[in-house]
Amino acid sequence: MMYLVLLPSNGLFMQNRFIKPVLFLFTLMGFKPLVAQDYSIPKLQTSVGYFGEFITHPGVKLGMSYTIKQKSKNKKSGKQINKGWLTGANITFYRHKFNHKALMFTGYIGRQRISNAGFLTQLNFETGYMASFLDGEVYEWNGHTFEKGNKGSSHAIFGFNGSIGWDFGKRTSLPATLAIVPHLYIQAPFNSTVLLRTALAIQVTYKLK
Amino acid sequence: MTASLLFTACNKENDLTKSGEMLFLKHKGASMPVLVRGNFDSDVILLIVHGGAGGSSAAHIEDFKSFIEPKYMVAYWDQRHAGASQGNFNKEDLTIDLMAEDMLLVIRMLKHKYGFNKKVFAFGHSWGVQLSTYYLINQPNELQGIILSNGAHSSEHEYSAKLDYVKNYATEMINKGIPIPKTIKTQGLTFENLQQVVDWCNASDPIEDYNELTILYDLVPAVKGYVDETYVQSPDIPSQISDSELWFQSPYNPITALINLNRTHNLINNFENQTSIQEFYDFTPGMHKITLPVALYWGRYDDIIGPEVAQDYYQVISTPTEKKELIFFEKSNHSPQYTENVWFSQKVIGFIEEFK
């Protein structure tokens, strides 16, 4: 029951209610509970996750992130808040069946905050390139008959995403985070204008360094 | 709410992404999806020409899946800059001429893909009637026949029918002692009772400008609630497709559809800027070129495109009498294929079987 001792007695009730069973589970799995006060955001992390364009059109997102700058604030109560600027790159692939498939190469910069209990929030600005492929048979008229048409098209993308999740490394020896990441981004060009897209990712990051 | 929608979406009883084939026509910057479903052994393909402009064929899947798809192939085409259409083109390329050219190529693509022996019929609804009519006048006809529902070919008749709708049902309400639902203020005028509505309709026939047209549109709510409640039945469509399934488990995306619709509205259907291609036009001079079998299946109580339009359409085309029919659906307003789905489907099958 060591984990109970390590939790701040004046922590938020909801956070404690959530983190206690999680820490207990992680303890059973062999990850050691840690004191939060000497924690720092990992310098280099890798990530993998489910990427759902409009939630349900499935894909995968792989990435690396690098912590540019960080600071931690230790309060008299023993609580520690970590804040950092992170940058990174992602490769994302998804398929909206009978509509399109997409491969996206993006870079981002964002601000991360980790509470004393490990609650993580992050807001990123992300931009990059999107190769989109029509998901079906494509025909083009050449003036006499039909030929198989090119499925691909190139687009710029830019937008925001925000993470809400948990940094387990703050309280246990598991150097990983789990977060839900809603995305809102613009695809350009699209028809005679631009298109707004949304997505929801569920992402795990793992400390490399 | 999102969780509820997602849960419902998981109940994929219609399998919108499992049955059928998706074709895309790439033409002059647009990549237009054509979802082909139904009975692939049939020698008939029914091409859906949706409304709008800027709407989507997705809404019609539930209209045709229960009775028509088991019998024929049905091709749900999303026009350029509409529904799930993709691409990259200049706004100058969103014209009815190019859309009619698209329609010809969609018909040819279906024959190229599924066999030149296939008989292609079209179903045009609302704006789809205007586009199909323009196609029949200006492009070589490669359709076997066409079914048209509640769309216009002449704004003069459209406005005349709308004036009749407002005037006649306002009079009926007066005779029954039913008051105007609420005071209507528009274009500097105030209508506090139905007699004022009737008087304005009598004084404004024919409609000649956007100002009068705006007033007419704003007067429709004075009677529409009464008409729908009194004459229009609840849809008898056997099974509807939920919004959640269309949003999350189909080839369509509501954000794309909304952006396409708004952009198309702004470019070619802009009532506010008085630049709509759906107002103050007349295709009548060219309609003598229409000679193929035509079925006009019209909701009687339509506040948008009334019965007079169908009657005039029937008169001005050159299709021989034995190859055209006009049927009013007496319990429907704008979408008889939805409201009276059972009878509508029977009529469609009867028409196709006769002329295929």
User: Could you give the angle at which helices B307-316 and B155-176 cross, rounded to 10 degrees?
Assistant: 140
Q: Give all domains of chain B, ordered by start, each with its CATH number.
A: 4-154+236-355 (3.40.50.1820), 156-231 (no CATH)
Asked whether the beta carbons of B75 and B61 are under 8 A apart, the reply is no
| B150 interfaces chain A, CB cutoff of 8 Å | no
Pairing of strands B21-27, B30-38: antiparallel
**The pLDDT of residue B19:** 87
Q: Which residues on B lie below 8 Å from A140 (Cβ)?
A: 25-27
A167 and A202 Cβ atoms separated by less than 8 Å: no
Instruction: Give the one of A97, A137, A150 whose C-beta lies nearest to B23's C-beta.
Output: A137
Confidence (pLDDT) at A23: 62
Which chain B residues are within 8 Å of A190, Cβ to Cβ? 86-88, 259
Output the CA torsion B236→B240→B243→B245 (10° steps).
180
Residue B86 C-alpha, separation from nearest chain A C-alpha, in angstroms: 6
Each residue of B190-199: pLDDT tens digit?
999 999 999 9
Between chains, do A132 and B25 touch, taking CB under 8 Å as contact? no
Residues of chain B with pLDDT under 70: 1-14
The DSSP call for residue B79 is: P
Report CB contact under 8 Å: A192, B105: no
Asked if ipTM goes beyond 0.90, one says yes
Contact A191 B26 (CB under 8 A): no
Q: Which two tokens stand for residue A3?
A: 């984990």
- Helices vs. strands in chain A: H and E counts, helices first: 2, 10
Query: Which pLDDT score is estimated for B272?
Result: 85
Per-residue pLDDT of chain A (209 residues; tens, 9 = 90+): 333 333 444 444 445 566 666 666 666 666 666 665 678 999 999 999 999 999 999 999 999 999 999 999 988 888 999 999 999 999 999 999 999 999 999 999 999 999 999 999 999 999 999 999 999 999 999 999 999 999 999 999 999 999 999 999 988 889 999 999 999 999 999 999 999 999 999 999 999 98
Take residue B249 and report the two structure tokens written for it: 């488990």
H/E element, A115: none
Q: Give the integer Cα–Cα distance in Å for A81 and A182.
A: 23
Strands A193-207 and A176-190: antiparallel
The crossing angle, in degrees rounded to 10, of helices B155-176 and B210-219 is: 40
Q: What is the mean pLDDT of chain B?
A: 95
Instruction: Give chain A positions within 8 Å (CB) of B109.
Output: 139, 141, 146
Q: How far apart are alpha carbons A6 and A15 in whole angstroms?
A: 14
Where residue B225 falls (left for φ over 0; alpha for ψ -120 to 50; beta otherwise) is alpha
pLDDT for the residue numbered A30: 66
Please state the pTM of the whole predicted model. 0.91
Q: How far is CA B322 from CA B119, B314, B350, in A?
A: 20, 12, 14
Q: Which residue has the tokens 């749900």?
A: B76
Alpha carbon of B264: minimum distance to chain A alpha carbons (Å):
9
Tokens of residue A165, six digits: 């999740």
B280 three-state secondary structure: coil
Q: Is B111 left (phi over 0), alpha (psi -120 to 50) or beta?
A: alpha
pLDDT of A29 reads 67
Res B148: pLDDT: 98
Shortest CA distance to B150 belongs to which of B126, B171, B169? Answer: B126
- Beta strand ranges found along A79-167 (DSSP E): 80-96, 100-114, 119-134, 137-141, 146-148, 152-167
Q: What single-letter amino acid sits at B5?
A: L
Residue B350 to residue B313: CA distance in whole angstroms:
21
pLDDT at A1: 34
